[in-house]
Structure 1
Amino acid sequence: MVEHIVLLKFSPKTTIEQKQETISRTLLLKEVIPGIMDIQQGINFSNRSKGFEIGLTVRFEDRTSLENYGPHPAHQEVFAYLQEIGVEDIIVVDFEF
């Protein structure tokens, strides 16, 4: 299995409603992208986040599923929305277990 971890930092102009919409759109990816075993996302409440506001974890069956996720049209739509609402920085970590 593969764990995909993403941290998102937004512009100060990004609203809480836009962040909630990001979460709603992302969670729907499990229904349309093959190979996603589990997906979780939420707004950070810790003061240790260095400004990153949303955390995402996606568990995939294997590396091939992860490789197919990035270019999938549904994922690309979410990514385009992130850019539209002012994502400023993204950290991604992937590991196999």
Structure 2
Amino acid sequence: MEEEKESGRAFSHWWWALASGVQLGWGVLSYRRGCAGESRLMPLKAFAVASLFVGAGASASVSVLHASGIYKVEDLLEVGANIRRGLRVRPRTGEE
């Protein structure tokens, strides 16, 4: 059962990468199309295009984290501790 979960997690980053690519493509297409129609809707259209670019960046970030095997905050903290250890920097305490 645990192996099935791990194998499902191993390929979950592809879905996030696909979502990022689709959002980025949609954002570029919308940006290149420009303003069509009434000018009163321009702020809404600009917000929608900007949201597509921000969403593409967020999806790409999640994809990179999943591909790296980072699924929880504890995993990310462990990676940070390993980097600090590799740089020979003092470990952080709770007071800093």
Superposition TM-score, scaled by structure 1 size: 0.29
The structure with more helix, counted as a fraction of residues? 2
Higher relative contact order (CA 8 A, sep 6+): 1
Superposition TM-score, scaled by structure 2 size: 0.29
The structure with more strand, counted as a fraction of residues? 1
